[in-house]
Amino acid sequence: MARPRFHLAFPVRDLAEARAFYGGVLGCPEGRSADDWVDFDFHGHQIVAHLAPEEAAPAPTNAVDGEDVPVRHFGLILEPASWRALAERLAGAGVRFIIQPQTRFAGEPGEQSTLFVLDPSGNALEFKAFADEAMIFAR
């Protein structure tokens, strides 16, 4: 059986900004759209940017391994080489990291490469990679 795909709808303040970030910077192909929403292929998952400027606001944070991690965020677990390439692409595009590319939980169960960015509407995205996929749900 194929792995299920997730669907996520989230608020943005401006659809042109969302198209430039998700389509241009992240390279997500655009799917269907209307005047107040646009969907993107997020590595096989459907994410939908809905125009709702009043809902687009920075998320509160929690401390995780010495960093202030946005409570509300979404993202992807990538292969290590793809994660490094994305980190370089984001840096090259001038995207500001709210948490710099780094290794979290070094030497512990769940060791991972991680980085956080904000889209133009303040939605937090985390991209991570595990050298050992068995560590994704390690306790």
pTM metric for this prediction: 0.92
- Residue type (1 letter), 23: G
Whole-number Cα distances in Å, 66 to 86, 100, 102, 115, 130 = 23, 12, 12, 13, 19
Question: 20 falls in which pLDDT band (50, 70, 90)?
Answer: very high
Q: How is the chain split into domains, by residue range? A: 7-54, 61-135
Q: What's the mean per-residue pLDDT of the chain?
A: 94
Residue 139 has pLDDT above 90, yes or no: no
CATH superfamily of 7-54: 2,3-Dihydroxybiphenyl 1,2-Dioxygenase, domain 1 (3.10.180.10)
**Chain-centre distance of CA 51, in angstroms?**
18
Q: For the segment 37-81, what is each residue's pLDDT rounded down to a tens digit?
A: 999 999 999 999 999 999 988 778 999 888 899 999 999 999 999
Question: 3 falls in which pLDDT band (50, 70, 90)?
Answer: confident
Residue 1 has pLDDT above 80, yes or no: no
Alpha helix (H) ranges present in the chain? 15-18, 80-92
Residue 87 has pLDDT above 70, yes or no: yes
Q: Which residues pair with 30 in a beta bridge?
A: 40
Fold of 61-135: 2,3-Dihydroxybiphenyl 1,2-Dioxygenase; domain 1 (3.10.180)
